[in-house]
Amino acid sequence: MRTTTMGRKGPEVSVLGLGTMTFGAETEQDEAHRMLDTFVDAGGTLLDCADVYADGRSEEIVGRWLERDGNRTRVRIATKGRFAVTGQPGASLRADYLRYALDRSLARLRISDVDIYQVHGPDRSTPLDEVAGFFAEALQSGRVGYVGLSNLPGWQIATLAALLDDERLICHQTQYSLLVREPEWEIFPAARHAGLGCLAWGPLAAGWLTGKYERGIRPTGASRLGKDPNRGLEAWERRGTDRTWTIIDGLREHADRLRRTPADLALSWLVGRPGVTAALVGARSTRQLVETVGGLGAPLTDEIAADLDLLSAPAVPDYPYAFLAELDPAPEGER
Ligand SMILES: NC(=O)c1ccc[n+]([C@@H]2O[C@H](COP(=O)([O-])OP(=O)(O)OC[C@H]3O[C@@H](n4cnc5c(N)ncnc54)[C@H](OP(=O)(O)O)[C@@H]3O)[C@@H](O)[C@H]2O)c1
């Protein structure tokens, strides 16, 4: 698998990171361990965890795998804290809460220090200088190698980067895919300014970009939307807009013509975007993961990438974004 540098000066990681959100939920431990083995055997070196996944069970599953056969040395581990987990009262970005959440994550993961610790989302009730203070303390303690941000608006990314002023702040996470490009308006410019690499979550739009769903046929069976058509941002009605189907139709046409899969093209487009370090892929089974990892083909030509850019370009609101782009256009290759 290809590798790349995270942010300006972070570690070298694989361009696909394995998301662990399904572990302990859709995926039981033995299968999760097979997925982890499959991923590292394919050259994957980045795992994305969070305390909140399956209420802590996901980190425990990863922890039992890390203890085996020198696995700890084969991967970079990123985890996150901010949201409610049973036995961790006071979920927030407050320093005392994050300190405790980090302790609990290290215990579940069975490690003494984590490569990247990320705040999982925003919290209006905590001043950003308190978050920056927590990061500085965690880095100083040696329990955290690097720090990162997740789901923060652009202004909070820029503010935290200025407050912390430390090159070990290396990454941010946002949902980003051919179906979700709005982070290009504020989040990517702020992250670029701060020198952060993007770990893009939902790179297959939670399965939509594999091409497995068909217009007008409600999903059934063992898929996220088969189990729960109203699930989250990927819900059937919410995501199944004309725009989504137009992008999926166009993606399938490109895939057929190039003899590649829609998932391969969607991921290849994504990891080729400026500012993207890695796509955090999820899977419910080893079979799915083998398709995703084994199916990642060569980087796209400029022409195909440009076609996919055009196909998926979101309508830009006239004001402020279209107006500002006219007044002060971004240089070629930047968003
Ligand atoms: N920072 C955050 O707030 C945040 C939020 C969400 C996720 N994340 C991270 O990002 C990771 C990935 O997120 P995601 O799971 O939404 O990403 P994704 O890669 O877009 O979607 C993964 C889902 O797509 C379906 N899928 C995958 N391969 C398939 C295949 N070959 N054929 C058919 N369906 C396939 C599976 O769902 P089915 O159940 O439908 O089979 C799978 O669970 C997570 O594990 C987590 O680490 C972070």
CA angle in degrees (0–180, nearest 5) for 172-146-97: 80
Asked whether residue 265 is assigned to any structural domain, the reply reads yes
In degrees and rounded to multiples of 5, residue 12 shows phi and psi of -80, 125
Residue 199's pLDDT is 98
Asked whether residue 27 is assigned to any structural domain, the reply reads yes
Ligand 1 pocket test target in 26, 201, 223, 228 with most atoms within 8 Å of CB: 201
DSSP-based three-state secondary structure for 108: helix
Output the residue whose Cα is nearest ligand 1's atom 36: 283
Asked whether residue 332 is assigned to any structural domain, the reply reads no
Residue 330's pLDDT is 84
Measured in angstroms, how far is the CA atom of residue 232 from the centroid of ligand 1? 12
Asked whether residue 335 is assigned to any structural domain, the reply reads no
CA angle in degrees (0–180, nearest 5) for 257-251-277: 110
The number of the ligand 1 atom at minimal distance from the alpha carbon of 201 is 10
Output the residue whose Cα is nearest ligand 1's atom 15: 282
Measured in angstroms, how far is the CA atom of residue 194 from the centroid of ligand 1? 27
Q: What is the CATH number of the domain that holds 274?
A: 3.20.20.100
What residue ranges of the chain have pLDDT lower than 50? Answer: none
In degrees and rounded to multiples of 5, residue 156 shows phi and psi of -75, -35
Ligand 1 site residues (CB inside 6 A) read 19-22, 26, 48, 120, 150-151, 173, 201-207, 210, 212, 223-224, 280-284, 288, 291-292
The number of the ligand 1 atom at minimal distance from the alpha carbon of 226 is 40
Note the pLDDT tens digit of each residue in 277-294.
999 999 999 999 999 999
Output the residue whose Cα is nearest ligand 1's atom 32: 288
Helix (H) or strand (E) holding 47: strand 46-48
**CA–CA gap between residue 97 and residue 5 (Å, rounded):** 31
The number of the ligand 1 atom at minimal distance from the alpha carbon of 48 is 47
Number of domains in the chain: 1
Asked whether residue 333 is assigned to any structural domain, the reply reads no
User: What is the pTM assigned to this prediction?
Assistant: 0.97
Ligand 1 pocket test target in 47, 57, 281, 287 with most atoms within 8 Å of CB: 281
Residue 332's pLDDT is 75
Tokens for 109? 């993961």
Q: Are 245 and 215 in contact (CB under 8 A)?
A: yes
Output the residue whose Cα is nearest ligand 1's atom 10: 201
Residue 333's pLDDT is 67
User: Residue type for 58, please?
Assistant: S
Range of the structural domain that residue 71 is part of:
3-327
Active site residues: 53
Asked whether residue 242 is assigned to any structural domain, the reply reads yes
